[in-house]
Structure 1
Amino acid sequence: MTENVDGTGPKIPQQAFDWYDEYAHGDIDRRTFLKRLGTLGVAGLSLSAVAGALIPNYALAEQVSFNDPDIKASYIEFDAPDGHGRARGYLVVPAGVSAEKPAPAVLVAHENRGLNPYVEDVARRLAKAGYVALAPDALFSLGGYPGNDDEGRAMQKTLDGGKIEGDFVAAAKLLKAHELSTGKVGMVGFCFGGYLSNQLAALLPDTIVAAAPYYGTPPKADIANIKAAMQLHFAALDERVNGYWPDYEKALKAANTDYEAFVYPDVNHGFHNDSTARYDEARAEQAWQRTLEFFKAQLS
C-alpha cells in the first residue's frame, strides 16, 4: 500500500500502481484501467480520486522555473538525417556559459509520451546544476507533445522506433559539437528514455561518456560496444523492467563495463516523476543526487 502523492490521507493499493503501469505502457486501454480501479475498495477515496492521483498532474512537477535567472531556456530545431529529418528539443543553458567558458552537456530522454513538462523541468534542473541540457521531443514530426499524456502516448506509439533513436542520435552529436559544450556528453532518461540511454550508450560509444538510465530496458544494440560509465536506477516494485536486469548485468560484466546499479526499495516504476502518486520524494532525491555526483565525476 502506498500513500497519496502528498504523503497524507488514505493509501492507494499496490495493485492500482501495477495496473497503471500496464496502462501507461499500452498493455491495457484506459477503459480497462478505470474498470479495474472501480473494483478496488479504497476507504476515503473515490474512483476519480484514485485515477487522478495516478495520472500525471504537471502543476506539481516544476522545481526550477523556466524564467529562473540562473538558466536560459529555448526551443531549437536541428537536422536529424537518421531520424525524422528535422527534430526539435528544449535547450537549457546555465547563465554565464559561453564559447569561451563552455560546460559539459547532458541529453535528456523522455518517457513514451513525448516531451512533457516533467522532463522539461529535469532539463532545467540539470542546467541549474551547471550542465548544457537538451531534451528532444520525439513527437515533433507529428506536431509535438500535445499537452496530455494519453494523446502523447498514442502518438508516440505510431512512430518508427528507429527514427526516434535517430532523432536522439542527432541530438547527442549536436551536444558534442555545440559551441557551449566541452564536448563531454552524458545522458539521462526515464522509462522509454531509460531504454534510449542504454541504447545510445551502445550506439555512440565515442559520444556518450556517461549514462544514467532510470528504469530502462536493455539496449538492442551490442552491449559490448558500451564505453560509457553507467549508473542504472531501478524501482524494487517494477517487476516488468527488473526482469531484464540479471541478463543485462551479466552482459555488462562480460564487457568489463564501468557500471553501478541501485535498486530503490518499496517504490514503483516512475518513482522519480513528481507529478503522480508513484513519486517517492526521498528515493527520488537520493537517486537524483547520485546522478548529479555521477555526472560531476564523469563529465568534469
Structure 2
Amino acid sequence: MNQDIIRLYDEYTHAPLPRRVFLERLSVLAGSSAAAAALLPVLENNYAHAAMVAETDPRIEVEKVSWDATGQAINGYLAKPKSGTKLGAVIVIHENRGLNPHIQDVARRMAAEGFLALAPDMLSPVGGTPADEDAARDMIGKLDREKTVAGLVAAVPYMAKRPEAAGKVGCVGFCWGGAMANMMAVRSPELAAAVAYYGSQPTAADAAKIKARVMLHYAGLDERINAGIPAYEEALKKAGVNYQVFVYDGVNHAFNNDTNTARYDAAAAKLAWERTVGFLKQSLVA
C-alpha cells in the first residue's frame, strides 16, 4: 500500500477530513475514482473479521453492564473467564470510532487470557456508539475531555470491587484509547498498570503524576504520534515511573487492528499482544 495513501487515511480518521475531501484526494493518489473505490474495502475496517474469540467461546462469558461516573451512566461490554475468581481486571479502551465489534473482541481475548475485561462505550453520555463510524468519530471529537477521563477513572473502583476481581486494575487502549490510557495513568493513583498502543502523550507535568506501571507500543511509520515519544520518555524517567517503550519498525498506526487490511501487521500485533498480556499478568495477578 502506498504510504501516501496510508497517511491520507490517517488524516481522514484523525484530523478529521470530511469524507468528500478524503475521497477526492484518494482518487488523485489512486489515479481514478474507480481505483479509489477499489481501495476503500482495504482501507476501512471490516468487522466481519472481528471474532478471534467468539462470544460463544466455551472459555468465556459476556454481559452488558453500566456504572455511575460523576453522575452519568457509562455502558460497557464485560467479558470474563467462565470460571474463576481473584482475576486481574483490565479496562479496554476503544479507538476514535467508539465501542465496535473489534474492541469487543479484544475484551474477549483478554477474558480468554484469564482477565476480567471491561470495554466501556465512552459515547454513552451522547447516546452510545452509532453504526456510522464517521458519525462516531465526529461525536468523540465533541466529547468533554475532562468528563471522559473522569468516566474512565470511575471504572477503576467499579472493576476493583467486582466479586470476580482480585482488586488490581489495569487498562489497555488503542489510538484515541491509547491517549486515554495514558491519561488514566495520570489521573488514577489506584490504577496498577497502563498499556497504550500508539496513543498521544500527556504533558511532562502530567506524566510526573503517574503511579502505575506503563507499557507503550508505537508503530515505526507513525510520525504524527511518534513525535511525542522523546519528551514523554524523558518525563517518565525523571518521575521514576516503571515503564517500557516498544517501537515496531516498518508498521503503521493501528497495526493491531486485524479488521483493517491496509494497516494490520500480524507479526507486530502478535508480539505486542504477548508483551501486553505478560505485562498485565505480572502487574495485576503476580
TM-score w.r.t. the length of structure 1 is: 0.90
Query: Among residues 265, 279, 282, which one is paired with 1:294 in the alignment?
Result: 279
Report the equivalent of 2:55. Answer: 66
Report the equivalent of 1:88. Answer: 75
Could you tell me how far apart the structure 2 residues matched to 1:294 and 1:167 are? 24
Task: Give the aligned residue type for 1:72.
Answer: E
Query: Does the CA-based 8 Å contact 2:213-2:243 persist in structure 1?
Result: yes
SS in 1 for 2:52: coil
Q: Kindly report which structure 2 residues correspond to 1:22-41, keeping only aligned pairs within 5 A, or say none.
A: 22-41=11-30
Q: For residue 208 of structure 1, report the CA deviation from its aligned partner.
A: 1.1
Report the equivalent of 2:142. Answer: 158
SS in 2 for 1:46: helix
Aligned length: 282
Query: Does the CA-based 8 Å contact 2:88-2:281 persist in structure 1?
Result: no
Task: Give the aligned residue type for 1:171.
Answer: A
Query: 2:176 aligned with 1:215, yes or no?
Result: no
SS in 1 for 2:199: coil
Gaps of 5+ in 1: 1-11
Query: Among residues 10, 34, 38, which one is paired with 1:21 in the alignment?
Result: 10
Could you tell me how far apart the structure 1 residues matched to 2:67 and 2:9 are? 35
Could you tell me how far apart the structure 2 residues matched to 1:166 and 1:290 are? 28
SS in 1 for 2:160: helix
SS in 1 for 2:192: strand
Q: For residue 109 of structure 1, report the CA deviation from its aligned partner.
A: 0.7
Gaps of 5+ in 2: none
Query: Does the CA-based 8 Å contact 1:34-1:51 persist in structure 2?
Result: no
Query: Does the CA-based 8 Å contact 1:196-1:219 persist in structure 2?
Result: no
How many percent of aligned residue pairs carry the same amino acid?
Answer: 45
Q: Kindly report which structure 2 residues correspond to 1:135-284, keeping only aligned pairs within 5 A, or say none.
A: 135-205=119-189, 207-219=190-202, 222-276=206-260, 277-284=262-269
Report the equivalent of 1:8. Answer: none
**CA deviation string 1:159-186 (max 9, x = no partner):** 2111111211111221112111101111
Query: 2:274 aligned with 1:285, yes or no?
Result: no
Query: 2:117 aligned with 1:133, yes or no?
Result: yes
**CA deviation string 1:33-79 (max 9, x = no partner):** 11111112479x82112122111111112100011111110111111
Task: Give the aligned residue type for 2:134.
Answer: D
Task: Give the aligned residue type for 1:73.
Answer: V
Could you tell me how far apart the structure 2 residues matched to 1:273 and 1:157 are? 21
Alignment RMSD (CA, Å): 1.5
Could you tell me how far apart the structure 1 residues matched to 2:131 and 2:18 are? 19
Task: Give the aligned residue type for 1:189.
Answer: G
Q: For residue 21 of structure 1, report the CA deviation from its aligned partner.
A: 0.6
Query: Does the CA-based 8 Å contact 1:78-1:86 persist in structure 2?
Result: yes
Query: Does the CA-based 8 Å contact 1:186-1:209 persist in structure 2?
Result: yes
Which piece of structure 1 moves more, 165-174 or 261-270? Answer: 165-174
Could you tell me how far apart the structure 2 residues matched to 1:121 and 1:224 are? 33
Which piece of structure 1 moves more, 156-165 or 129-138? Answer: 156-165
**CA deviation string 1:88-113 (max 9, x = no partner):** 0101111112xxx3211001111112
Q: 1:24 to 1:41 in 2, by over 3 A?
A: closer
Task: Give the aligned residue type for 1:91.
Answer: L
